[in-house]
Structure 1
Amino acid sequence: MELYFLGTNAGVPTLQRNVTSIALRLLEERRSMWLFDCGEGTQHQILRSPLKMTRLEKIFITHLHGDHIFGLPGLLSSRSAQGATSPVTIYGPKGIKAYIETSLDISQSRVNYSLEVVEHSGGVLFEDDGFRVESALLEHRAESFGYRITEKDRPGNLDLERLESYGLKPGPLYGRLKRGESVQTPDGQEVHAADVLLAPKKGRIVTILGDTRPCANIVPLAKGSDLLVHEATFMHELQDIANEYYHSTALQAAEAASEAGVKELMLTHFSSRYKDTEHLQPLLDEAKQVFPNTRLAEDFGLYPVQR
């Protein structure tokens, strides 16, 4: 599980940073990637990255401002032109379906794969044996959502020493035990999975927020996350402007991370007034005063989610 940032700027792109899009790579977990927001130029960023659009499985849109959705029609159309056939599901606020259908229809774009658009107002959006995705409304000028992605716990590895003590050799019986079944040893002794499985592998939790100013739903949504991605459009000296435009400061993001008890905070969605990494350093410094384990997201930056 890794996050790959395709754009970290707010509002408009600059020569240094594109507008918002984040890929969650789940290559080991489900051989796919999920995209969070798709600002203009996202498909160009993908071309310059190790990401493959054939791996795209789901797109989660936080809100309908242009810097988060203007890249969608082109990306969907190009994916089809490249021969991708696997289905894609898009989740977003009310209006996202009309935007996609109108854009593709008027431009006479063809999508030769199954495309499902799910409009939502929060709650549990997706769940299977491996993952659960839930959403909550934030506080922005447009209806904006945050997403909590929970990887479910997985069975632990087999205890090879215990298996040897039972006289069990590598083969199909190992697979049955791994699936939680019971097996018999060559001498007829019954061995239960619980006898030979190590502790379960704890699933990871990632919370990715859309644009927001401080609000009540942030902490419950992010509670105990291994990684929180939080917008930090301004330094705290501009908190009045941040509040007026429904954005957050780096310090406010750090306060949310501290209150939610997350393990790591990733700042993104920076105002274009902060031209480069040198100008972003003060945002990082003020956030670290409250939450030391904070990092600045960078375009084309790959960040593993630690277990």
Structure 2
Amino acid sequence: MELWFMGTSAGMPIAERNVSSIVLSLTRTKGSLWMFDCGEGTQHQLLRTPLKLSRLTKLFITHLHGDHLFGLPGLLSSRSSLGGTASLDVYGPPGLREFLDAALRLSDTHLNYPFQVHELEAEGAVLDEDGYTVECALLDHRIACFGYRIAEKPRSGSLRVDVLTAAGVPPGPAYGKLKAGEDLRLEDGSVIRAADVLCDPIPGRVVAVMGDTRPCEGALRLAQGADVLVYEATFGADLAEKAEQYGHSTTLQAAETAKAANISRLLITHFSSRYGPDQLAELETQARGVFPQTDAAMELQAYPIPSPSFRTNLA
């Protein structure tokens, strides 16, 4: 599982940064891609990565401000032109369907794949499939805006091979059945219960992706205990009043949310165009003063999210 940032700039692009879009590359779905927001120029950014647009299966829009949305019609059209035929689901606030219907109709764009828009009317479960769940919550911005929590379902633990060897069970199909949670009946009539030879389940990873927001209860709830939190830090600590006025957060507010939610890693993004590349280190330093495990997200760079079992082995 990896996170890629296609754009980290707020409001409008600058020479060094594009506007908002994030891609989550999944491992349990044969490399499927899920995208969060699609600002103008997102498809151009994808061309600069090893990620393939044809693998995009889910697209989540946080809100309908242009810097999170204007790249969507072009990206959908290119996916069709590139021969994409797999179905695509798009999730987002009310109004998203109207925007896409108008853009595709007026531009006479025809998509060669099944396409469905799911408008989110309330907080709660968004989907449950392919080994993952997604839930959403309302954030505190100037217009309706959602954050998303993506949770990987737990995997079954490893088999206690020493116990099976002592019981005379050779490696093979029997191991597969036990791994799948099926009890095994031996030739002598005795039964080996899967629960007795499986180690504890391996917890799934959790990624929380916020849209534009002031600090709020919805963001804190979605972020709770996450392995990675992606949170906006539009302004530095000295511009708290401006952040409040425009419905955004500062570096310190992002870090305070991360600390309160007891997460493992914070990736800050959505930086105001007033900050050039040489100033991002200072924004990162501000956040690290509250939450040391903070990084200012860099575009077109992979951020791996190791599984709990891998982290344990490293320890």
| Cα-to-partner distance string for 1:102-152 (whole Å, 9 max, x where unaligned) | 111111111111101000032111113621111111111111110011111
More moved, 38-47 vs 25-34 = 25-34
- Tell me the percent identity: 51
**Counterparts of 1:259 and 1:29 in 2: how far apart (Å)?**
32
Aligned equivalents of 1:119 and 1:7: distance in 2? 24
1:125 maps onto 2:161 in alignment: no
**Scaled by the length of structure 2, what TM-score is found?**
0.94
User: Which amino acid in 2 is paired with 1:6?
Assistant: M
Aligned to 2:92: 92
Q: Gaps spanning 5+ residues in structure 1: where?
A: none
AA of the residue aligned to 1:13: P
Aligned match of 2:48: 48
Equivalent pair of 1:137/1:143 in contact (CA under 8 Å): yes
> How big is the alpha-carbon RMSD for the aligned residues of Structure 1 and Structure 2?
1.3
Contact 1:166 1:185 in 2 (8 A): no
Q: How does 1:145-164 map to 2 (within 5 A)?
A: 145-164=146-165
Output the CA distance in 1 between the equivalents of 2:301 and 2:88. 24
Partner of 2:281: 281
For 1:292-303, list aligned pairs within 5 A: 292-303=292-303
Q: Which residue of 2 aligns with 1:72?
A: 72
Moved more, 22-31 or 136-145: 22-31
**C-alpha distance in 2 between matches for 1:27 and 1:172:** 24
Q: CA deviation at 1:185?
A: 3.1
Using structure 1 for the length normalisation, give the TM-score: 0.96
Mapped partners of 1:120, 1:30: distance in 2: 27
SS in 2 for 1:136: strand
Matches within 5 A, 1:178-189: 178-189=179-190
Which residue number corresponds to residue 176 of structure 2? 175
Greater than 6 Å deviation, 4+ residue runs: none
Letter aligned with residue 73 of structure 1: P
Partner amino acid, structure 1, of 2:295: R
Which residue number corresponds to residue 256 of structure 1?
257
Q: Provide the residue aligned with 2:198 in structure 1.
A: 197
Shift of 1:165: 1.8
After superposition, what is the alpha-carbon deviation per residue over 1:226-284, rounded to whole angstroms, capped at 9, x for unaligned? 111100011010111111111110000001111111111110000111110x2111111
Q: Work out whether residues 29 and 130 of structure 2, in 8 Å CA contact, stay in contact via their aligned partners in 1.
A: no
Q: How many residues align?
A: 306
Show the counterpart of 2:233: 232
